[in-house]
Chains A and B, each alone.
Chain A
Amino acid sequence: MTSAAQPGAPGAARGRWLGHPAAWVLAALHVMLAGWALADDRFLNDEGLLSHLFAQLTARDFVPAFFLQKARPPLATLYAPVALLGLDVFLWVHVLLCSLAVPLVEATARQLGHRRPLVPAAVVALSPMFVAGSAAGLSNADAVLGVAGVLLLWSQGRLLAAGAVLGALVWVRAELMLLVLVMLAWSAVRRQWRAWIGLLLWPVLYGLAGLAYHQYLLWMTHYPPALPSPMPGSPFWATQPQAPSLAALVSAAVALCPAVVLAAGARHGRAPTDLERWWGWFAVAFVVALTVLPRWRVFNFDLSPRYLLPVLPVLALAIGRATQGWGARAGVAWRTSALLVAAALAIAAHRTGATLAAAWAVLGVAAAMALAGSGRPRAALALLLAGLAFGPRHFAEGARIGRAIQAPHLDEMVERIDAQGGTRPVFTNEPILAAYLTRRADRPQTQVHYLVQADQLHELTRLSNPANGQQSRLLAAAAHGFFGRPVFPADLDPDRLPPDALFVLRDDARLELVMPADVWSPRLSPLGGGHGRVRVAELREAPRVVPAADGVEEGSLP
């Protein structure tokens, strides 16, 4: 390793890549925590399954999947080699890769001259939302790894590489376009044009290759990475809130990092570098944008807290910087004001529906700051780390990634399926059910058919090219597995299904679009024991159709 002569000055130094051994211990801790969650499927999540699905599509038919921007091509290509080995292998590889963000952040902090580079590493490793996203297989967690890599390269002055990685990252998480804008602005001010070249590498190369494939100049905008607006007539968005509540915001912040309030003290933390200030502005703009965008339904952003994950490396560095000066007289008024504001927000959030987690977190940070102020920095750090260690188990609820929140009806679905013997072919609109059943070794294997929803099919067809065969090849690749064995709306015909088919349906307003009541109500016989949240039914014979006297056909129930 060469030392950082001028921390944060691009090109001034080349920091070591491997980081401090303790950072790898923290990375291992992250793997253990996420692995613990994997064991009980705590964070089994449809968005994580979607990442696996895209990697599977890429492994099955590389070219059409690679040029489907929706499939997050860089990420799907990365995971394609392991995608066909099963969900477990995919998730473990995901956890291992995500854990690399920990030493990367530590190396960045060291590069920037932090006195305690292990603090930001610990913030990343123990972030409740990052542990959850890592275990769930979310692409947002991969974005943390990507951003951590970009920040390290950037801080080392490897601007071409930093730009190249960031340019590709936008095809993993489109919201990272904000970091691209920051890098463009920063490099323009500093006249570091290599960053511009790097940023253009992926879009140009990928765009040209796609041009050859699609034979269409404007293919990138004609088949964008996400729907510019929701599918017309989809009832899904009608059920989604448009603005976050205070309780949700505070809970999400604490899930990102329980010590988030410390970041407010970063500006007094022993001279943050120019780069850190730019990144800080990125983090602020990112959070504001992701909080405001859902109001207009732009690019299908909802209010899922997981979208905030990419700011974690920046937040961690800010917290690390803050702990360098948290016991000093300078800035004490600012830090205390931040604590009081955080306390007020936490209490107000509690009074409007959040748990007391945020208030406990603020209390812990305040106590640690008092210890630091009394000249006991080690005790303060120990308290901070102890608080962070509690995070993944006690502050994760605000991330809203957990299976119990996303699909609380899963266990009842399994019970109802098993009550019917457990071997009947199941048709469901619950995307997690197939994966959940597969991972239950204590029960018979059940063939699960997933009812592809109209808006899912709309997205796949709207974002792929029907003219060059891409669309049909993608649909053929998806037929091997799409949250189970897929049943596309056109194939969902009661007369073409196995007679012992068991319908296990969650309440979803979109279901009417693929199973219209006038067709399906006469053909489904509800099975007793339904409790509202899960509907279980089996097929019954078609009503006899007899010609009416006036020649109009009418149905009569058997």
Chain B
Amino acid sequence: MSAEDRAPVIAPLLAALVTASGIAWGLVAPPRSEAVARPDASTSLAAPVAEVLASLEVGTRLAGWRVVAVVPADEPGGARVDLERDDLRFGLSVIPREAAVHSAPTRTEHWAIYYGHVRPQGARVPTRIVTAVTAALEREIRARE
């Protein structure tokens, strides 16, 4: 059988190989953001917030949005969960309620959740999406409070 005869088998197999490599890449190294790649949360996050966010890994999905980073928030004892989808990114900050200065739209027994850090700058995330993702994060937190 000549190489030409084998082409209908070999060519799609090569394409399959390329695709499989991409899948393996996605499974082994889920996409993460360039600047906010997740640091080792167990050492950088305060213990209480790390505990309630223990289920979140890079690649975890909240209402269809991918967690790309979990980093310490500006407020003491807090953390910021960065989420990404469709080239949009935003952050949900989880702050101890006693440290929360402003009234938070979403609260659990001990935590306040704020929305912000939208990127690219000037982009808008539809309200219903923020609501859905916040609700998903809230459920994760409540399950561990």
Contacts and interface: CB of A to CB of B under 8 A. Distances in A.
B19 A362 contact: yes
Interface in B1-45: 4-5, 7-9, 11-16, 18-20, 22-23, 25-27, 31
Interface residues of A, number: 50
A336 B128 contact: no
Contacts of B105: 532
A352 B12 contact: no
Interface in B55-71: 63-66
A332 interface: yes
B7 A329 contact: yes
B86 interface: yes
Interface in A325-380: 327-329, 332-333, 335-336, 339-340, 343, 346-347, 350-353, 356, 359-360, 362-363, 366-367, 369-370, 372-374
B127 A508 contact: yes
Contacts of A508: 127-128
A449 B39 CA distance: 49
Nearest to B135: A533
A347 B25 contact: yes
Nearest to A303: B86
Given A240-B126, A352-B87, A356-B26, A370 B31 contact: no
B9 A238 contact: no
Contact of B20 (A244, A363, A372, A533): A363
A333 B86 contact: no
Given A353-B85, A508-B127, A532-B113, A366 B8 contact: no
B107 interface: yes
B35 to A, nearest CB: 15
A356 B18 contact: no
A329 B8 contact: yes
B110 interface: no
Contacts of B20: 363
B127 A509 contact: yes
Given A359-B26, A362-B19, A363-B19, A332 B13 contact: no
A347 B131 contact: no
Contact of B131 (A247, A367, A533): A533
Interface stretch (A24-32, A405-413, A490-498, A537-545): A405-413
B9 A374 contact: yes
B124 interface: yes
A10 to B, nearest CB: 35
Contacts of B63: 404-405, 408
A344 to B, nearest CB: 8
B134 interface: yes
Interface in B83-119: 84-88, 104-108, 113
Interface of A: 238-241, 244-248, 327-329, 332-333, 335-336, 339-340, 343, 346-347, 350-353, 356, 359-360, 362-363, 366-367, 369-370, 372-374, 397, 404-405, 408-409, 412, 506-509, 531-533
18 contacts: A239-B128, A247-B85, A340-B18, A343-B15, A347-B19, A350-B26, A352-B87, A353-B65, A370-B16, A405-B63, A405-B132, A408-B128, A409-B131, A508-B128, A531-B108, A531-B134, A531-B135, A533-B106
Given A353-B88, A507-B130, A508-B127, 10 more contacts: A239-B128, A241-B126, A248-B86, A347-B19, A353-B31, A367-B12, A369-B8, A370-B8, A372-B8, A412-B135
